[in-house]
Amino acid sequence: MSKAPGSPKGKAPTRAQASAKSAAKPAPAAAPKGDSAPTGDRIAKVLSRAGVASRREAERMIAEGRVKVNGVKIDSPALNVTDRDRIIVDGKPLPQAEAPRLWLYNKPTGLVTSNSDEKGRRTIFDELPEDLPRVMTVGRLDLNSEGLLLLTNDGGIKRRLELPSTGWLRRYRVRINGRPRDEDFEPLRKGMVIEGERFQPMTVALDRQQGANAWLTIGLREGKNREIRRALEDIGFNVNRLLRLSYGPFQLGSLKLGEVEELRPRVVRDQLGLEPEDMEETPPARPTRGRPGAKPGQKPSGRPSSKTAPKSDGMTFGIPKGKPTGRPADGPTGRSTGKPGGRPTGKPGARSGGYGDKPSSAGGNARGGKPASRGGSSKPRPIGKNPRR
């Protein structure tokens, strides 16, 4: 029996053999043309940009059948939409997306950072000014915490600020009960595991002892639930006051309790790397006080008082001296806030623009600095009963 001669190695197969092999292989799928590529943005992103909800919440709303596109109810967020599509949410047309905006809010204690509370407690949205548009919170502050809380009308900004990959430093002023030593906080500086949950290393500075309490300045780069309280309780200290001073480049500064202040569009654009066309160059509104003022449930007291509030527990709740010039300072928030990245001075009771922050140098402050003497002379005037003598 004779076998069909095989093709010797190194020689190209004949045309008949090549055509037979190509016929046996399945034909490759046609490459998608440029015109057939999906256009627009995902529906959840569009809802988030319009300020309806965060992206995750928007996906939940879609799954519940609360969103229609061009009259058809959708149940999956895997859909791209454009400006030509008609979107209905809960029976109402989707509002036009506004330019991204960001506000600073000095949250009082006793308010829940949530749209609603199952226990019927008051939330921050019950106390925000009525003329504020629909906003979302960036991160959270628990019921008994106070200080800086960022608000935005843009879900994309919210997501960008909350992502752990950004690694922005959050600084807190913390008062604990007891007489700690600096070495007691080494576990926090090295990182901890509490009930199976990993906490990243924190920066901890022991500022000073005040009676039976001690003041700390703590910095961290993640936002887990009650992270600082749980970490300090794990080493034997109870927190009786916790106040957030900063979130990344944004500072609480001298913003009064219960007040809201919008950041300048240029500051938001520069800090977040947004395109100029995404921002509207409109002057920010003056700080406005929430409906309750500094205490939840209280009626507004009109325009904010210009008097300095009394000191409490070694913290300063006042405003810098001097009349504002209307020009933005060098700081990222447009206000003179001292040195946001500096080390704590250990004097939380000193008069300054922030809560225990190092005050600005005299004479060089855009807000509160003394004017230079006439004629440009830098020679100091003599001080005493009779300067001429």
User: Does 259 lie in the same domain as 111?
Assistant: yes
pLDDT of 139 over the 60 cut:
yes
pLDDT for residue 12 = 52
User: Does 219 lie in the same domain as 123?
Assistant: yes
User: Does 209 lie in the same domain as 147?
Assistant: yes
Instruction: Provide the pairing of β-strand 146-152 with 238-247.
Output: parallel
Distance, CA of 122 to CA of 312 (rounded, Å): 24
User: What does each C-alpha distance from 189 to 28, 183, 185, 220 come to in angstroms?
Assistant: 57, 10, 7, 10
User: Does 230 lie in the same domain as 145?
Assistant: yes
**310 located within any domain:** no
Q: Which of 85, 126, 142, 234 is catalytic?
A: 142
pLDDT for residue 286 = 54
**295 located within any domain:** no
0.75 surpassed by pTM: no
CA 284 to mean position of chain CA atoms: 18
Give the domain CATH number at 184. 3.30.2350.10
Domain hosting residue 58, numbered range: 39-93
pLDDT per residue over 32-58, tens digit each?
444 455 688 888 888 877 778 777 888
Distance, CA of 318 to CA of 351 (rounded, Å): 8
* Cβ-based neighbours of 39, under 8 Å, separated by 6 or more: 80, 82
Q: Pick 99 or 366 by higher pLDDT.
A: 99
Last residue of a domain, one of 269, 288, 308: 269
pLDDT of 259 over the 90 cut:
yes
User: Does 121 lie in the same domain as 155?
Assistant: yes
User: Does 166 lie in the same domain as 197?
Assistant: yes
User: Does 259 lie in the same domain as 115?
Assistant: yes
- Can 142 be counted among the known catalytic residues? yes
The residue count of the chain comes to 389
User: Does 65 lie in the same domain as 189?
Assistant: no
Q: Percent of the chain scored above 90 by pLDDT?
A: 37
Give the domain CATH number at 55. 3.10.290.10
User: Does 118 lie in the same domain as 144?
Assistant: yes
**294 located within any domain:** no
pLDDT per residue over 318-333, tens digit each?
333 444 444 434 444 4
Distance, CA of 310 to CA of 292 (rounded, Å): 19
